[in-house]
Amino acid sequence: MKIAILSQQAKLYSTQRLAEAARLRGHEVLVIDTLRCYMNIVAHKPSIHYKGKRLDGIDAVIPRIGASITFYGTAVLRQCEMMGIFPVNESVAISRSRDKLRSLQLLARKGIGLPITGFAHSPDDTPDLIRMVRGSPLVIKLLEGTQGMGVVLAETPKAAESVIDAFAGLKVNILVQEFIQEAECSDIRCFVVGGKVVASMKRQAKPGEFRSNLHRGGTSSQIKITPEERKAAVRAARIMGLNVAGVDILRSKQGPLILEVNSSPGLKGIETTTGIDVASKIIDFIELNAKPNNTRTKGKG
């Protein structure tokens, strides 16, 4: 099988592990810089060119599309779908998951547990927005932020008003979310592949920090998740339409609450923490499912 990995950096841990796992199974692997692809948009024979040559004979594509290039990356992936190439995650599902507001609305519509969340641009009544999410402390997020960037914890009503008003002055969209005290500045990353949680870890924020992202100095440890948490992670990935996803969960008094569903979850933290060969499980999924035109949208979304 010929497998393409869409990645801007061939030397990233996740890209290298996926390529290594595929080659160990005897597959041919191409690591392709997404932004250097260019496409021929025609009705009968759509194509993708890379480094002066048409990409032919590809059976499956693994999208590792960074948040900053979502628009172009999903366009390239959509072209792959139009060519009949099997995508590990489809373009529509990636676009859906990258839109924080849309993803929360979809999850809420299906009854998935979420932290109480408000959405605003330039609120007329900031105190009412704060009351909507049960008051302070609360978390304020830029809608476009990633890896903990653009996320602020406001511990008092006055601090919350100041941050919200400052963001409103920047003319940006914001999410205001209740702070789950009992989670104790930690969350659970569940790695879902093909409708199953194949690995999970607990991420704990460093002292003095509330964001548990490993990029922010958080630490990780193995954890045994509950059947309820497992079910929530699988359902969240399915609602997003993602075959491979990193689902972040908060433990609360009300049960598991979904914080985020990531369409390009990193492998380094989860593999080094758990010792589980997650990359090979993704290749397993490809081997079972990679057939021509085996997509839900076929590039139409």
- Per-residue pLDDT tens for 220-264? 899 999 999 999 999 999 999 999 999 999 999 989 999 999 999
Domains defined along the chain, listed by start: 2-88 (3.40.50.20), 96-112+182-284 (3.30.470.20), 117-179 (3.30.1490.20)
DSSP codes, 90-131: -HHHHHHHH-HHHHHHHHHHTT-----EEEESS-S-HHHHHH
What span, in angstroms and rounded, lies between the C-alpha atoms of 117 and 3? 40
Q: Tell which residue, 236, 234, 229, 197, has the closest CA to residue 112.
A: 236
What span, in angstroms and rounded, lies between the C-alpha atoms of 105 and 99? 10
pLDDT tens string 30-49 = 999 999 999 998 877 889 99
pLDDT of residue 152: 85
For residue 196, how many C-alpha atoms fall within 13 Å in the half-sphere facing its CB?
8
Most confident option among 156-165, 167-176, 235-244: 235-244
pLDDT of residue 150: 75
pLDDT of residue 179: 87
What 3-state class would DSSP assign to 38?
strand
- pLDDT over threshold 60, residue 146: no
For residue 118, how many C-alpha atoms fall within 13 Å in the half-sphere facing its CB?
23
Q: Is 187 left (phi over 0), alpha (psi -120 to 50) or beta?
A: beta
Q: Tell which residue, 126, 111, 210, has the closest CA to residue 176.
A: 126
Q: Which helix (H) or strand (E) holds 23?
A: helix 13-24
Q: How many helices (H) and strands (E) does the chain have?
A: 9, 16
Q: Tell which residue, 80, 4, 75, 88, has the closest CA to residue 35.
A: 75
Is 0.85 surpassed by the pTM of this model?
A: yes
What span, in angstroms and rounded, lies between the C-alpha atoms of 212 and 206? 7
What span, in angstroms and rounded, lies between the C-alpha atoms of 256 and 53? 48
189 contact partners, CB below 8 Å, separation of at least 6? 200, 201, 203, 220, 246, 247, 248, 249, 265, 269, 270
Look over the chain and give the mean of its residue pLDDT values, rounded to a whole number: 89
**Longest pairwise C-alpha distance within the chain:** 61
